[in-house]
Amino acid sequence: MQSLVAAVRCGADAVYFGAGNFNARRNASNFGGDELKKAIDYCHLHSVKCHITLNTLVSDGEMPELIDTLRRICEAGADALIIQDLGVAKLVREICPDIAMHASTQLSTGTPEGIKLLSELGFSRAVLPRELSKAEIEKIAAVSPVELEAFVHGALCMCVSGQCLLSAMLGSRSGNRGLCAQPCRLPFAAKGGTGTDLSLKDLSLIERINELNNIGVCSFKIEGRMKRPEYVAAAVTACRKALDGCYGENDKNELRALFSRSGFTDGYYEAKLGREMFGKREKDDVTSATGELLRKYEKLYEKENAVYPAEFFFSAHIGEKPTLSAKAEGKSVFVEGGNICEQAISRPLDCESVKAQLSKCGGTVFFADSIECDIGENVSVPLSAINALRREALEKLAAEIIYRKPYKLNEYRITKSKAESTDRRKLCIQFSSVEQIPEEIECDRMFLPLDTDADIIKKYSAGVTVPRGLFCNYDTIAKKLENSPAAFALCNTPDALALAKNAGKQVIGGPFMNIFNSVALGEAERLGVSEQVLSYELTTKQIADISGIKTGCVVYGRTPLMLTRNCPVRNGVDCKECKRRSCLTDRKGIYFPVRCENGFSQLYNSVPTYMLDRPGEIRGTSFDMLVFTTETKEEVCEILTAYRLRSAPKGEYTRGLFTRGVE
């Protein structure tokens, strides 16, 4: 609450925060129970909007609680919801059609086509990925049917938001469920790199706010829900100053002193990637916030700001009750004293003493702008009664300003229709290169890289994998898709889905579409997905619960832990190695392969996930997916044999999240 007050008093136009368990900072102290309503009322009293984060993936079992939380947020009068899960978006449209929906940056959508798709889903605003360059934002803004919001200050994730499984796979703490443990800040080292080659400096684009404004971005977002109120005050003040054209070097230095990771970066925006963007929290960063500096910013939000001029009209006549009407912000209220005015014995009431009492608006959002009196002759009213009238009038005015017409809320019941399939599960294989394909291969469906020769695609009647990173090259990818003879395409983001649909492909949803519940699966179907690979983060039990179109899960493969725009390997050597053998090493000396293509890098898990010997534990799916990443052709053959024979794993492996799941 203190941080929220700091944001409001320092001039934010909107604040965003979580309510309960479904938000991307579950470790922050969020707003539960009455606090939520109080926080929203406080913001509305200051004409500040409240965007509530409901931006995590939600399982079928959690849906009743999610619906309760959603209703509570809507009843409290929030102005918008920030959403990641397509199922949650669907529920919001059904239950509270009038509340605005903002697409979280967790939806990993950063192309004009993808943003259009979000608009079709009912989103009125998109929070852009932090990885976009100025030119890319311009391209989107030129055609976007929705409002655009961009991060201008705060932490940068190494991985494109919504595509990260590092914390989930290493410790079951899911970034997609608001519990990222930030393992990326630990030493993951590239050869000759910085030693912490997954840790980026914090972003700062505050100097570019007016430029972003001119491009067509309407909202500038500060990250920092887990930071101290003084930091919030400083960051909001800095943005305000920038909008007024008076943000200077000193402001920037103070911001840096309050929190940074060896300074700030604008590398993505400037399209200047590389080692300069990396940084971690050094000793100097920790000690730089002096008591004096903290005190300076604390002062900015200590006291309530009197922002609304109020007009008072006071009236008192013998034999009548004293009355006070007050006007502010286009609202007017009228209050009446409890006792009838009597004749004065010694000193009759005069206008000056009324004015003195009505001017005491301290601690409220009002100040007395004009005071008029209509006082009869020889009237007596105790000053305490005038004070009481003022207090009551201002409280009523505040309530009028806070008031919002309640949202209409609909009942919604989740219905499930599960047609249990008894058919043999089909086999679906994704290859990273054609060299991996064995001479003799039997499978029901194959996905090959988009760049694969047309003849090979035709030979295997294969589908193509649309790359996950599309921000910089989507028009090239769109052309390749149109020219590809493949009938179907594996799509992992709304961006990819939009391109595949435009190219007339049958769409198979990939695991990074983050389909985590049956409602989301229904939405995927509505978007044109015919079959869906479920999220890597589901347990076998959760998988069995999901109903809808045909689904499958990845039962073998090195899980991609990160999709990054900044190749970590390039911090040491050049990126040529990343075709075949680049890797990062963690503190224990474990290797994590890195592969780069199309301007994006993927960091893979050190060991493959292996469920080939336990097929009976996965229930309710129609196909098994094997994903080959770093394997040679010989290794592929071994795995295919193991799949047929249900053999136990030979080398090191993990069961992924099938049994332990994520928090």
- Interaction site with Zn ion (CB under 5 A): 567, 569, 575, 578, 596
Q: Which is nearer to Zn ion, 583 or 596 (CB)?
A: 596
Please state, in angstroms and rounded to a whole number, the distance separating the CA atoms of residues 205 and 242.
Answer: 10
Between 544 and 575, CB nearer to Zn ion: 575
CB 74 within 8 A of CB 93: no
Q: For residue 584, give the nearest of 565, 561, 600, 557 by alpha carbon.
A: 561
Q: Which residues of 140-152 are buried (b: 16+ CB within 10 A; e: fewer)?
A: bbeebebbbbbbb
Q: Residue 467: name the closest of 476, 477, 458, 453 by CA.
A: 477
**Closest approach of Zn ion to the CB of residue 579, in Å:** 9
Cβ closest to Zn ion, residue 524 vs residue 569: 569
CB of 238 to Zn ion, least distance (A): 34
Query: Given the complex with Zn ion, which of 227 and 565 has the nearer CB atom?
Result: 565
CB closer to Zn ion out of 87 and 593:
593
* Minimal distance, residue 573 CB to Zn ion, in Å: 9
Task: Quote the least distance from Cβ 193 to Zn ion, whole Å.
Answer: 11
> In whole angstroms, how close is the CB of 478 to Zn ion at the nearest point?
24
Whose Cβ is closer to Zn ion: residue 242's or residue 567's?
Answer: 567
Q: Find the Cα–Cα–Cα–Cα dihedral 213, 219, 220, 221, rounded to 10°.
A: -160
* Residue whose CB is less far from Zn ion, 592 or 643: 592
Alpha carbon distance 635, 649 (integer Å): 12
Collapse the DSSP code of 603 into the 3-class scheme (helix H, G, I; strand E, B; otherwise coil) and give the result. strand
Q: What is the closest distance, in whole angstroms, from the C-beta atom of residue 602 to Zn ion in the complex?
A: 10
Query: CB of 398: closest distance to Zn ion in angstroms?
Result: 57
CB of 625 to Zn ion, least distance (A): 26
Q: Which is nearer to Zn ion, 509 or 568 (CB)?
A: 568
Q: What is the 3-state secondary structure (H, E, C) of 124-143?
A: CEEECCCCCCHHHHHHHHHH
**DSSP state for residue 608 in the 8-state scheme:** -
Structure tokens at 452: 């694969």
- Nearest residue (CB) to Zn ion, 274 versus 382: 274
With both helix axes pointing from N to C terminus, report the angle between 134-143 and 112-120 in degrees, rounded to the nearest 10. 40
| Residue type at 42 in one-letter notation | Y
Write down the least CB distance from residue 276 to Zn ion, Å: 16
Structure tokens at 74: 């809507």
Residue with Cβ nearer Zn ion (602 or 654)? 602
DSSP string, 395-450: HHHHHHHH--PPPP--------------SPPEEEEE-SSGGGS-SS---SEEEEET
Of 416 and 576, nearer to Zn ion (C-beta) is 576
CB 578 to Zn ion: min, Å? 3
Side-chain half-sphere exposure of 655, counting CA atoms within 13 A? 15
Q: Compare residues 121 and 563 and give the one whose CB is closer to Zn ion.
A: 563
Dihedral over alpha carbons 25, 180, 182, 653 (to 10 degrees): 180
By residue count, the chain amounts to 663
Q: Which of 442, 321, 444, 436 is nearest to 385 (CA)?
A: 321
Return the number of the residue (107 or 563) whose C-beta is nearest Zn ion: 563
Contact 107, 118 (CB under 8 A): yes
**In the numeric block, which tokens belong to residue 617?**
């534990």
Q: How far is the CB of 608 from Zn ion (least distance, A)?
A: 21
Task: Name the β-bridge partners of 221.
Answer: 151
Vertex 370: Cα angle to 366 and 371 (nearest 5): 105
CB-neighbour burial class of residue 299 (10 A; exposed 0-12, middle 13-18, buried 19+) = exposed
Q: Indicate the residue among 97 and 274 with the shorter CB distance to Zn ion.
A: 274
**Beta-carbon contacts of residue 265 (< 8 Å; ≥ 6 apart):** 156, 200, 201, 202, 203, 204, 276, 277, 279
Q: How far is the CB of 56 from Zn ion (least distance, A)?
A: 30
Instruction: State the nearest-atom distance from the C-beta of 254 to Zn ion, in Å.
Output: 36
CB 200 within 8 A of CB 279: yes
Q: State the minimum distance, in angstroms, from the CB of residue 189 to Zn ion.
A: 15
Q: What is the DSSP pairing of strand 445-449 with strand 463-465?
A: parallel
